[in-house]
Structure 1
Amino acid sequence: MSREGGAKIGGYTVVADVGLSLLKLLREQLSPDPVPRPDLIGMASPVDKGDLALSLYLCSIRENGEARRNEMLPQGGVLRYPPLAVDLQYMLTAHSAADLHTRILDEHRILGKAMQVLYDNSVLRGPYLEGTLLENGEELRITPENLSSDQLTQLWQFGDNPYKLSLVYRIGPVLLESNRVKPGSRVLERRITLRDKGG
């Protein structure tokens, strides 16, 4: 792990650590109401959700050009290549096993609570962070994606399964450390010569 200019950089587990951090937040804040048990919130596609009441699905990873870094990072006598800055896009979908008359209302309650929790924790810190994010004192920025109905249905690529109301959030930028390094040139001695221009 490296640190440059206040930015924290995670190893290859950082993508999984973001998912675990979101799960930790939502499980603590949505249980026992409106989701009876924390284990009913999990990572799964909306159509392969088992008995989950709320599924989180990482549907896209995109490079964040605005957060791209170009500077090499000095680290123990070598220069490490800059990290890859990415945004993670998560789809949250509620699922109710209730009968037809109350199913939709149950799902709306779950989504409403999830929106409230993510709004109140739009910068995720401290006890909710997992893995390398916690080790580095990282912060996660959570932003709702304002997608049109057409964009949402395009994002819903699950075969013949009909679209189900879902929330989409962007988490990022997340910095993924590079393993590439090159030798760093070190200044070992500086020699200054002064000449008198008198004449």
Structure 2
Amino acid sequence: MYTSIRATSQTLAEYLRQQLISDPQLAPFFDAGAGGTMVVSLSTPEEMSENNVEGLSVWLYRVMRDEERLNAPPERIAYNQMRRTPLPLKLHYLMTPVTASDLVGGPETEQLVLGKVLQVFYDHPLMRGTDLQGELSGTNAELAVRLEALTLDEIARVWDALDGSYQLSVSYEVSAVYIASAREPEGVTPVEVALPEYGVIVGK
């Protein structure tokens, strides 16, 4: 399915939202039922700030081929049909707490939110089963979430692309995400194997 990128983003955002709401220290910020106004958004940190939205930005900033899985063989779906191997991807997300500049304890709140994000994926680095959202729901997909150690230059390039000043954030790599081919299965000629014939020895 070509919708797996969106479904992966929805999976991460929803799982984080649930964990933030269930945390006693963060529920007052993220639980709308308790008066919280913060959200988990797929928008960039800059877009959230411009729209006066507070919470956690889960921004997909890079999509790469997963070279390690790229050479997987086609799948045989019938004795005379092969399905093209899906395109494997690695998705890179920037997780950034966003608070208003006039919020009392703003930096402390941002650090609290970021600490929770780190704890969540440290304890639960594999998204599967009921974690999955969107088109991935009900499938046997598994998404591995790995904290990335970006260099200062890499961090600077990300924020330069946002055309904004640096904010406290961390990057996660998610794999493997698959884009299925839209091509029809290819017909193949079955290989016929000749079995040797064994003679029967008849006693005299």
CA drift of 1:100 comes to: 5.9
Q: Which residue of 1 aligns with 2:73?
A: 71
Q: Which residue of 1 aligns with 2:7?
A: 17
Deviations along 1:39-91, one digit per CA (max 9) or x if unpaired, are 71111011001313101110000001112233121225521111111100001
SS of residue matched to 2:47 = coil
SS of residue matched to 1:90 = strand
RMSD after superposition: 2.3
Structural mapping, 1:38-187, within 5 Å: 40-49=39-48, 50=51, 51-76=53-78, 77-97=80-100, 99=102, 102-156=105-159, 157-159=161-163, 161-180=164-183, 181-186=185-190
Equivalent pairs, count: 184
Distance in 2 of aligned mates of 1:192 and 1:117: 57
What runs of 5+ residues in structure 2 fail to find an aligned partner? Answer: 33-37, 200-204
Distance in 2 of aligned mates of 1:178 and 1:15: 14
Structural mapping, 1:186-197, within 5 Å: 186=190, 192=195, 194=197
Distance in 1 of aligned mates of 2:128 and 2:46: 31
SS of residue matched to 2:105 = helix
Please, what TM-score do these two structures have when normalized by structure 1? 0.82
Q: Which residue of 2 aligns with 1:7?
A: none
CA drift of 1:132 comes to: 3.7
Q: Percent identity?
A: 27
Amino acid of the structure 2 residue aligned with 1:92: M
Please tell me whether Structure 1 or Structure 2 has the larger radius of gyration of its CA atoms.
Answer: 2
What runs of 5+ residues in structure 1 fail to find an aligned partner? Answer: 1-10
Deviations along 1:75-117, one digit per CA (max 9) or x if unpaired, are 2552111111110000111011263651111111111111111
CA 169–192 in structure 1, closer or farther in 2 if over 3 Å, else same: closer
CA drift of 1:137 comes to: 1.8
Q: Which residue of 1 aligns with 2:18?
A: 28
